[in-house]
Amino acid sequence: MRTFIAVDLGGTNIRAALVDEKGKILDIKKDATQADKGKEHVMKKMEDLIASLKDYEKADGIGLGIPGPTDTINGKIIISNNLPDLVGYPIADRIREHFHKPTFMANDVKVAGLAEALLGQGQGKNNIYYLTISTGVAGAMILDGKVLSGYHGHGGEIGNMSIDPNRLSIGGLNRGAAESWVSGPALVREAEKACKRQFKHAGEVFEAAKDDERAKAVVERFKDDLAVLLAGVCFVCDPEMILIQGGVMKSSADFLKDVEERMRALLFPGMRETSLASATIEEPGLVGAAMLAKSLL
């Protein structure tokens, strides 16, 4: 059976794994990133982790999952708050030359979406949109089993897409940007303003909405905002299914069905078969990085 090396590079940790073509993780290694020590230190750690994997030499290729906007053509990070020293560095080229194996690189959300499309809820479907709603909002389009990256590597990204240009700009994003209004922190922020009390996380807001009309109003606006965002995705991509993961999805029973109905009401009648579902793959970052290599070889 074919195998692939997967790397999940994060600001805190680097993980490397050997994954078979069915998505089974055969070996996995992890170490602290220590990005403050510079790019050479991080790259050496990545190389050492890969080389420590059992039977890594037999792998057909290498897939790298990288946080933030990524130049998938040239294998470089475009923007990164957590890995600033690696911005513009030819990561994929270096790994390719070091191990003499085909090496591919994409944003971590895109590779996670690929895992779901090929091995998770999206199996058997040609057109999948993958969305993560957690501290931030990010997305990826998977078409015919491959990640749609676009001209600059930003294809499928919706975190900075405006759902209402009449709202404020928050954190330097566009006015009414999706991440500013449908992320977990955004839901907590708006609930605290409305209810005049603190919430630990978005789940508490959904619970409060069952008894508190002020919290309910915040949740209802969240549902409307998410429906508008996903309807926009549908008009551009027309996916068969939208798969959603992230911390906010722990409360999916409190909002997902309503959002699906509201999204469909905004679409043309012939488009209303698109469904929403929770993502299911464990370790989507690593499995997806391996599937990135598989899909491009």
Per-residue pLDDT reduced to its tens digit, 113-139: 999 999 999 999 999 999 999 999 999
What pLDDT does 151 receive?
A: 81
pTM, rounded to two decimals: 0.89
Domain spanning 125-278 has what CATH number?
Answer: 3.30.420.40
193 pLDDT band, cuts 50/70/90, is very high
Please, are residues 40 and 17 in contact by the beta-carbon 8 Å criterion?
A: no
Domain spanning 3-113+283-296 has what CATH number?
Answer: 3.30.420.40
Per-residue pLDDT reduced to its tens digit, 273-292: 999 999 999 899 999 999 99
The CA distance from 84 to 91, in Å, is 13
Helices 256-265 + 213-237 axis angle, to 10: 50
What pLDDT does 70 receive?
A: 84
In one letter, which amino acid is 114?
A: L
Per-residue pLDDT reduced to its tens digit, 172-184: 899 999 999 999 9
Domain ranges of the chain: 3-113+283-296, 125-278
What pLDDT does 34 receive?
A: 94
Same fold, 3-113+283-296 and 125-278: yes
Q: What percent of the chain has pLDDT over 70?
A: 100
Q: If you search the block for the tokens 């069952």, which residue do you land on?
A: 210
In one letter, which amino acid is 125?
A: K
Q: What percent of the chain has pLDDT over 90?
A: 86
What pLDDT does 23 receive?
A: 95
